[in-house]
Structure 1
């Protein structure tokens, strides 16, 4: 059964205080490849690896059903710096 964006969003919002969340189905709607960008104060003081492990553990059942999963995780300050670099 394909993974739905709503399933991912509900799980993330239930587990983390979300400042910003983008979930993109990169598989043309078949639910096998997702990209997630998550901004949360819960990531303060954590390394990128630690942040990714938190997401991977939270979504382990969903990720097991996917072909590909990518993530970008930021604190609010890191996200502001990321946006500033993009412009």
Structure 2
């Protein structure tokens, strides 16, 4: 019995495209980034698609002057409020928020 791997080759290309999508391919990530930049003027911002390219789970690492004097809970509430229209379409969201003086 001889096995054919032709179909695996074409599937592999689709897998690679999905797993290694670039930021320009990530419309939802770009929207998240744009909303946060407009509202929080971050010193540092990383919006990372943790879902392998399908845009359903993100990690956000953000440092902003807007967080000074606020508890982590209130920082997260502020980000959640900014992203209120995007969050319903996500499967998961991980936030790492900091004020500049507490940046590591």
TM over 0.5: yes
1:40 counterpart = 2:49: no
Q: Which has the higher strand share?
A: 1
- Distance in 2 (alpha carbons) for counterparts of 1:58 and 1:41: 16
Structure 2, unaligned stretches of length 5 or more? Answer: 1-25
Structure 1, unaligned stretches of length 5 or more? Answer: 83-87
Query: What is the aligned partner in structure 1 of residue 88 from structure 2?
Result: 64
Query: What is the aligned partner in structure 1 of residue 11 from structure 2?
Result: none
Q: Following TM superposition, by how much is the alpha carbon of 1:17 offset from its aligned partner in structure 2, in angstroms?
A: 1.8
Query: What is the aligned partner in structure 2 of residue 74 from structure 1?
Result: 98
State TM-score, norm by structure 2.
Answer: 0.72
- Distance in 2 (alpha carbons) for counterparts of 1:9 and 1:37: 11
1:8 counterpart = 2:32: yes
- Distance in 1 (alpha carbons) for counterparts of 2:27 and 2:34: 12
Equivalent pairs, count: 79
State TM-score, norm by structure 1.
Answer: 0.86
- Distance in 1 (alpha carbons) for counterparts of 2:88 and 2:43: 26
Tell me which structure has the larger Cα radius of gyration.
2
